[in-house]
Amino acid sequence: MIDKKCKLCDKAYKVALYRKESSNFCSHSCRGKSRTGNKNSNWKGGKLKRSDGYSLERIKVSARDESGKKYDLSHRLIMSKHLGRKLLKTEIVHHINGDNSDNRIENLELMNQSYHASLHSKQRVRNSKKQYV
């Protein structure tokens, strides 16, 4: 057995001689922590795309609210940055051209929930029996 120093926490630990080259961390926990964020081979820059076309961005730990969620919708983050404040939960960011992936500030409009619902209800189509299709 030989003594080694953990690359993450600097804790001293013992390792078998045949593992002296491959062992760099004192525990599985330290090894896992060393592979988070941009150090992970699967890291994609903190951006995700949902199946409905909306994109999500990773939120910095210091900027997270009390819910602790790690990702938020990109268009909400862009509008929040543009206004210089956090958005209220009742505020909706609407894509003017209807393209959920087009997050340019000139394509985003801030509105309340009731106005947003009425806007979309005007766009719905009714059939000959006055039923929504």
* Span 56-88, pLDDT tens digits: 998 877 666 767 778 889 999 999 999 999 899
Q: What are the residue ranges of CATH 3.90.75.20 in the chain?
A: 47-123
Query: Which CATH number does 47-123 carry?
Result: 3.90.75.20
Report yes or no on whether pTM surpasses 0.85: no
pLDDT at 93 over 90: yes
pLDDT at 48 over 90: no
Task: Report which of 74, 26, 22, 15 is spatially closest to residue 46, judged by C-alpha positions.
Answer: 74
Confidence at residue 119, expressed as pLDDT on a 0 to 100 scale = 86
